[in-house]
Structure 1
Amino acid sequence: MEYRKLGNSELSVSAITFGAWAAGGWMWGSTDRNDAIEAIRASYDLGVTSIDTAPIYGQGTSEEIVGEAIRGLPRDKVQLLTKFGMRWDSDQGDFAFHSKNNDGEAIEIYKYAGKDSVIYECEQSLKRLGTDYIDLYQIHWPDVTTPIDETFEAVSRLVEQGKVRYVGVCNYNAAQMAEAERTIPLVSNQIPFSMVNRAVEDETVPYCIQHGKSVLAYSPLERGLLTGKIHAGYIFQEGDHRANLPHFQPDFIEKANILLERIKPLADDKKVSLSQLVLRWTIERAGITVALAGARNADQAIQNAKSIELKLSADELEFVSAVVDAF
């Protein structure tokens, strides 16, 4: 495994980080708890020491699974990355969307990062994760109802108390990052990035490069689209959010699969899967520090972790990038 520093911090994370959204089941058509725990442990055995989760993933389920999976492991050898600012148990803040929990019950999701809420959420996360500190604490989405300085003053208090080591953001643009930094030093921004979703390269990634902030790329496999396993007419499980997304409609699936067909000969030549080629290309991209890769079982987790073994020459990277640019 390769390890990379987050920003100018002392925190090193694995370049392939375990993304635990799907492990929580929510919006992914349920989860098998034992499979998820085995996936995290299989990743760890291959050097994936960093795990990214959030309270909203299964309304606590993902954090609980992560906590169970790391039990017995040396705490200083694991990096726990979690989030705050999305509430399903409160109607304060900015309404985000309607959803259903893992039991099929209707819930409403709010973006809220008021001072008291941040402190409360941290305490709940610490309990679910079974730890006394969080390595990287990230606001999940901007909250337009709370001043940014109020939010990060609360996070500063958590840092002072030793409950949080380093602070990051998710889904922030450059201006929001700059405003947050007036209150607290940030080490990272977690943003969506994939071969078929590169909008963040216009402004946010260049800002992070210029200011020494790490980028944690989420959905680098575009929620499974770039695995080569999704085809027109693919049947999703009930409760799987992907069924209605624009990227999973027949026209877009067909277009993405053409891209994959063009790079597949390179994957075959290297004796790796398309997923492994996509993940390796992602972490070689300028400004990208980490690729967050989810897994529902140990086999998927092992495949993701082993993508780090793939070596690509400058010419091979240029070839893949040219195909992506053409897309």
Structure 2
Amino acid sequence: MKYRKLGSTGLNVSVIGIGTWQFGGEWGKDFTQNEVDAMLDKSGELGINLIDTAECYGDHLSERFIGNYLARRKREDWIVATKFGHGFKGHLQREQLWSADQVLKQLDDSLKSLQTEYVDLYQFHSGTDAEFENDKLWSMLDRQVQAGKIRHLGISISASGTGVHQTASAQAVGAEAIQVVYNRLERGPEEEVFPLCAKHNLGVLARVPLASGYLSGKYKPDAAFPTGDVRANHNADTRQKQLLEVAKIAESEVPEGIPMAQWALGWCLQHPAVTSVIPGCKDVAQVIANAAAADLGMVKDGQSL
């Protein structure tokens, strides 16, 4: 495994992390604690130290799986990132909870679920610019940093906006890392967000690096997804267009002998602004495959990964 500093946080994170939205049950599978334990054990064995979760991946369900695991392992071996701003109300249904008091309760609930005294990275989760401009919220969060409940603050940019205002304002609210959708099919952050991150020394976590699995190479343009899988709600025409593009990429860009999913993760990591990618996984085999992307020989700042 390879590691990079996450912006100005001082956190040394693995270039491959583990995303855990799937643990909340919205990707067509319900998980058991034993399955989660096996994936996290294999992740640790392979040198992965970054876990990304959220309050609304299930009603703190993903966090509880992780917390149960951490309670039986060395907490200091892991960098745990979670998020705030929403309440889980059902499959793909979220309640907006942005007041300082609401977020403080979310933080305490997350700490309880994660069975930890602190969160390494606590992230504003896909909120609007209006929700972001809340001095009381950021003052409360700063107090939690001072109290030791939060080590570092971050911003997880909504997929529906550019994220430019929030990225440019990150330092003003004490945030040191940006999480953003970035993959071979969705390159918008390269235009303004990544230059801002470089200018202000903000770490970058690239989420959805496999484009919701489309860049895994598993799916044909006419692929269908079962009810209960997030991808079943994607626009059918957009999905087909993206999968047609994936087929072209597989033919023209992916080197022979390299699995497309590994190539897609390595592709993200070659951008000098990106600190780590956080793909999801459904089993131990996917953990192993994801971790292998760290050794593809991609280059950052003139140096081999």
Q: What TM-score do you get using the length of structure 2 for normalisation?
A: 0.90
* Structure 2 residue 266 is matched with structure 1 residue 280: yes
- CA–CA distance in structure 2, aligned partners of residues 64 and 261 of structure 1: 41
* Structure 2 residue 240 is matched with structure 1 residue 232: no
Shift of 1:108: 4.2
- CA–CA distance in structure 2, aligned partners of residues 116 and 241 of structure 1: 30
> Partner of 2:245 in structure 1?
255
Larger mean CA deviation between 115-124 and 63-72 belongs to: 63-72
Shift of 1:111: 3.0
Q: What amino acid maps onto 2:101 in structure 1?
A: D
**Any gaps of 5 or more consecutive residues in structure 1?**
90-99, 102-106, 315-327
1:170 to 156, 168, 175: 156
Q: What amino acid maps onto 1:110 in structure 2?
A: E
> Partner of 1:138 in structure 2?
123
> Partner of 2:88 in structure 1?
88
- CA–CA distance in structure 1, aligned partners of residues 238 and 36 of structure 2: 24
* Structure 2 residue 105 is matched with structure 1 residue 120: yes
8 Å Cα contact 1:148-1:180 kept in structure 2:
no
- CA–CA distance in structure 1, aligned partners of residues 283 and 149 of structure 2: 30
> Partner of 2:30 in structure 1?
31
- CA–CA distance in structure 2, aligned partners of residues 228 and 151 of structure 1: 42
Map 1:56-205 → 2, pairs under 5 A: 56-88=56-88, 100-101=90-91, 108-143=93-128, 144-145=130-131, 147-171=133-157, 173-182=163-172, 184-205=173-194
8 Å Cα contact 2:262-2:290 kept in structure 1:
yes
Q: Secondary structure at the match of 1:311?
A: coil
Shift of 1:112: 2.7
8 Å Cα contact 1:236-1:242 kept in structure 2:
yes
> Partner of 2:303 in structure 1?
none
- CA–CA distance in structure 2, aligned partners of residues 304 and 267 of structure 1: 18
Q: What TM-score do you get using the length of structure 1 for normalisation?
A: 0.84
Shift of 1:13: 1.1
Q: What amino acid maps onto 1:199 in structure 2?
A: G
Q: Secondary structure at the match of 2:253?
A: helix
Shift of 1:289: 0.8
Q: How many residues of Structure 1 are paired with residues of Structure 2 in the alignment?
A: 294
Q: What amino acid maps onto 2:251 in structure 1?
A: E
**Any gaps of 5 or more consecutive residues in structure 2?**
301-305
Shift of 1:267: 4.2
Shift of 1:72: 2.5
- CA–CA distance in structure 1, aligned partners of residues 37 and 276 of structure 2: 22
Larger mean CA deviation between 140-149 and 209-218 belongs to: 140-149
Q: What amino acid maps onto 2:111 in structure 1?
A: L
8 Å Cα contact 2:168-2:196 kept in structure 1:
no
- CA–CA distance in structure 2, aligned partners of residues 138 and 267 of structure 1: 38
Shift of 1:146: 6.4
Q: CA RMSD in A?
A: 2.1
8 Å Cα contact 1:171-1:190 kept in structure 2:
yes
4+ runs of 1 displaced by more than 4 Å? none
> Partner of 1:324 in structure 2?
none
> Partner of 1:222 in structure 2?
211
Q: What amino acid maps onto 1:63 in structure 2?
A: E
> Partner of 1:317 in structure 2?
none
Q: Secondary structure at the match of 2:29?
A: coil
